């Protein structure tokens, strides 16, 4: 969408008319697409619908603060933003909301999610009506029963004595600076730190809130470690003992975190929440941000090997799935049709998606 004007200019230029690709079937189809008003309206609508969901995914994937306390609340905000983007016309937004709710059901609506939503003052202090939501309160009660299992007296004390102090903003919860401390979800706000500061008069509820709000809701950190393990534990280096292997992963992964934090300070921007999606590429694709790392601060494989005492130098592996594209890779429609079936291995369509594809003209 940002390059809409430039793309239209390119396809209306004399250079495009003289280009051999403009005579191919795909070239003509691309020209019709780029010049179509309907296509760009669809792109704009897709951005309005998916932008709130992408924001939720980036919050979940961020590693500055735990995301459990924000997931349910941000999902609610995302659904409201989608409704507004579709002018609050039910027939337009209802199919999308149904898909989201189907994905959320039995996955992101557990008692932990509800309790974290209630105990996060960023949401509760803005909407005191959350305590009237029976799903949220039932989820919180279930968490109390599990957290203080087999201790009915303590459960009763948390629910009947300590919780009302929080929900009615009594004591330190009612201080103006307590409200100001959770008014904005910025880099300075962390619900765990907020409870440590203002929850001293409700020690049992404080302990429960800190434990729940300290949870993550994504396995991204583990997956990044798996990629690091893959790069270290190769076939030629499979005799490393577990202790040394863990130390190598610890050194390399934390070096990446240090470089990431350094870049954030230099840019003064959150990599995963930035408006420029390319800033997150380094975490999405392995090695995607290698060029942005200062060579003076890069922790090379040689240094890691020397520090660990491992035999040989570590060399990052190049993925066999990556290749460069050249002009010769592109062919006309007629040339591609002859080779198309021989070049691709098709997977079994288990969900029968292809049966419905193409029934309606886009």
Give 150-187 as a DSSP string.
T-HHHHHHIIIIIHHHHHTT-GGGGSHHHHHHTSS-ST
What pLDDT sits at residue 94?
Answer: 93
How many CA atoms are closer than 13 Å to the CA of 149, on its beta-carbon side?
A: 2
**For the chain, first and last CA: distance in Å?**
19
Which of 192, 185, 225 shows the shortest CA–CA distance to 208? 192
CA 339 – CA 253 distance, rounded (Å): 43
Residues 6+ apart with CB under 8 A from 20: none
Conformational region of residue 316, where left means phi above 0, alpha means psi within -120 to 50, and beta covers everything else: beta
Mark residue 62 as left, alpha or beta (left: phi above 0; alpha: psi -120 to 50; beta: remaining).
beta
The H or E element spanning position 15 is helix 14-18
d(CA 226, CA 221): 9
Query: Residue 64's pLDDT is what?
Result: 77
The answer to whether the pTM exceeds 0.85 is no
Distance CA 160, CA 202 (A): 12
Query: Mind listing the pLDDT tens digit for each residue in 266-282?
Result: 776 554 454 444 444 44
Give the residue among 70, 61, 57 at the shortest CA–CA distance from 190.
70
Tens of pLDDT along the chain (362 residues)? 999 999 999 999 999 999 999 999 999 999 999 999 999 999 998 998 999 999 898 888 877 788 999 999 999 999 999 999 899 999 999 999 999 999 999 888 899 999 999 999 999 999 999 999 999 999 999 999 999 998 999 999 999 999 999 999 999 999 999 999 999 988 889 999 999 999 999 999 999 999 999 998 887 777 777 778 777 777 766 777 888 888 888 898 888 888 887 887 777 655 445 444 444 444 444 444 444 444 443 444 444 444 444 444 344 444 444 444 444 444 444 444 444 444 444 444 455 544 444 444 43
Q: Of the candidates 105, 122, 234, 232, which has an alpha carbon nearest to the alpha carbon of residue 181?
A: 122
Residue located via tokens 């809701």: 217
> Which of 161, 125, 155, 123 shows the shortest CA–CA distance to 140?
155
pLDDT of residue 270: 55
The helix (run of H) or strand (run of E) holding residue 336 is helix 333-343
Specify the pLDDT at position 269. Answer: 59
Contact 218, 211 (CB under 8 A): no
């Amino acid at each position: 969408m940002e390059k809409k004007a430039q793309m239209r200019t390119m396809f209306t230029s004399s250079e495009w008319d003289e280009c051999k690709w403009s005579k191919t079937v795909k070239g003509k189809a691309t020209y019709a697409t780029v010049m179509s008003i309907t296509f760009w309206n669809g792109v704009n609508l897709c951005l309005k619908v998916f932008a709130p969901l992408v924001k939720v995914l980036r919050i979940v994937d961020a590693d500055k603060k735990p995301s459990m306390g924000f997931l349910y609340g941000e999902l609610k905000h995302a659904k409201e933003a989608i409704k507004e983007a579709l002018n609050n016309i039910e027939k337009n937004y209802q199919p999308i909301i149904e898909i989201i709710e189907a994905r959320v059901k039995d996955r992101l609506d557990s008692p932990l999610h509800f309790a974290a939503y209630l105990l996060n003052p960023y949401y509760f202090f803005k909407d005191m009506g959350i305590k009237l939501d029976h799903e949220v309160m039932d989820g919180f009660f279930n968490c109390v029963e599990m957290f203080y299992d087999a201790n009915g007296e303590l459960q009763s004390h948390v629910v009947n004595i300590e919780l009302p102090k929080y929900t009615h903003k009594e004591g330190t919860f009612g201080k103006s600076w307590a409200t100001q401390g959770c008014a904005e979800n910025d880099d300075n706000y962390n619900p765990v730190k907020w409870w440590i500061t203002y929850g001293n008069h409700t020690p049992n509820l404080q302990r429960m809130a800190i434990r729940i709000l300290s949870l993550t809701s994504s396995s991204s950190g583990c997956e990044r470690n798996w990629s690091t393990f893959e790069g270290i534990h190769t076939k030629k280096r499979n005799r490393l003992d577990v202790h040394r292997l863990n130390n190598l992963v610890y050194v390399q992964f934390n070096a990446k975190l240090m470089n990431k934090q350094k870049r954030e300070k230099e840019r003064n921007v959150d990599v995963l929440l930035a408006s420029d999606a390319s800033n997150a590429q380094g975490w999405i694709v392995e090695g995607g941000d290698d060029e942005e790392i200062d060579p003076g601060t890069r922790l090379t494989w040689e240094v890691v090997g020397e520090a660990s005492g491992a035999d040989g130098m570590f060399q990052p592996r190049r993925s066999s799935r990556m290749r460069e594209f050249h002009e010769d890779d592109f062919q006309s429609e007629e040339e591609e049709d002859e080779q198309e079936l021989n070049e691709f291995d098709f997977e079994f369509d288990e969900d029968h998606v292809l049966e419905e594809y193409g029934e309606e003209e886009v």
